[in-house]
Amino acid sequence: MAWFRKEKKPKEAVEKSTAIPEGLWVKCDDCKEIVYRKEVEQNLSVCPKCSYHFRLSARERFSMLFDDAQYKEFATNIKSGDPLEFKDTKRYRDRLKVYEARVGKGDAVLCAEGKLEGVNVVISAMEYAFMGGSMGSVVGEKLTLAAERALDKGEPLIIVSCSGGARMQEGILSLMQMAKISAALARLAEARLPYISVLTDPTTGGVTASYAMLGDLNIAEPKALIGFAGPRVIEQTIRQTLPEGFQRAEFLVEHGMVDLITHRAEMKATLGRFLRCFLAK
């Protein structure tokens, strides 16, 4: 025997669309606040709550640094090969195809020329979204070409680093790029042409051990991770607790490894000021 009986059917609820568009909000990796994405983008991809600097793509860097966001890319048709026929869970050549489809051609660095505050300049910006900005043969070739173009035109060179280091899939061929790029920068120095290195989060491994720290001026963004081996690797190796803030930009400035820290909103003006000082000599 039933304990109750429905007398009439309930009215069907009218569903209201309350879906929030995907990607409308973003979580800050530093302060963990949920921030309106458009507000972050209008603030040069800097968190309005804590000033955490989100990563930028290479072309976003170009738009931020070149006058009127006008620039001309070069060395665009160079692609990575697979000389070692490297394979882990996936073949290296297949990984490259995935990243090219996701990010676009150009590998982990883009090179362009234009004007920065009226000064003709060559700028190379690393693309972290392409295999963590790792440095392989293509990155080495393109940065060398950028240095040679700056040398031929008698213009300053700026490299914006954002990288996890050398690309393991290319082995020793990747490590060779450290010497190759450094040699190109040495030729630039002999011609007394300025090279400014901009270090962003992260700048690590073989990139830090070579061109990222060879600038006539080394400028970092706030709180950028800059170092060779990671903090956990170092702690496990030396079996000591590292100081607070170790390998962050502020720590490196304090210990003389980086010249200054510049907020993204002031980066272009700062670069322009130093370029004019270098070229006035």
User: For the chain, where are the alpha helices, taking DSSP H only?
Assistant: 37-42, 58-65, 92-103, 137-153, 171-190, 205-208, 231-238, 249-254, 264-280
Contact between 47 and 31 (Cβ < 8 Å): yes
Looking at this protein, which amino acid is placed at residue 167?
R
Query: Tens digits of per-residue pLDDT, 177-193?
Result: 999 999 999 999 999 99
How many Cα atoms are found within 13 Å in the side-chain-facing hemisphere of 23? Answer: 2
pLDDT score recorded for residue 118:
97
Residue 132: pLDDT over 50: yes
Contact between 165 and 140 (Cβ < 8 Å): no
Q: What are phi and psi of 125, to 5 degrees?
A: -125, 130
* 6-20, 80-94, 128-142, 160-174, range with the lowest pLDDT: 6-20
0.85 exceeded by pTM: yes
Residues contacting 170, CB < 8 A, separation 6+: 80, 83, 84, 86, 92, 136, 137
Residue 207: pLDDT over 70: yes
Domains of the chain, earliest start first? 22-54 (no CATH), 55-280 (3.90.226.10)
Mean pLDDT of the chain: 92
What percent of the chain is modeled with pLDDT above 70? 92
As a whole number of angstroms, the distance between CA 79 and CA 142 comes to 10
**Structure token digits, residue 280:** 């006035």
**Structure token digits, residue 220:** 């970092």
Angstrom distances, CA of residue 33 to CA of 42, 100, 263: 17, 32, 20
Contact between 79 and 105 (Cβ < 8 Å): yes
As a whole number of angstroms, the distance between CA 122 and CA 158 comes to 6
Contact between 109 and 142 (Cβ < 8 Å): yes
Report which DSSP code applies to 91. Answer: B
Query: Tens digits of per-residue pLDDT, 114-127?
Result: 999 999 999 999 99
Query: Tens digits of per-residue pLDDT, 5-64?
Result: 656 655 554 444 444 456 799 999 999 999 999 999 999 999 999 999 999 999 999 999
Residue burial 252-272, b: 16+ Cβ < 10 Å; e: rest: beeeebbbebbebeebbebbb
Query: Tens digits of per-residue pLDDT, 257-268?
Result: 999 999 999 999
Q: What are phi and psi of 266, to 5 degrees?
A: -105, 0
Contact between 20 and 93 (Cβ < 8 Å): no
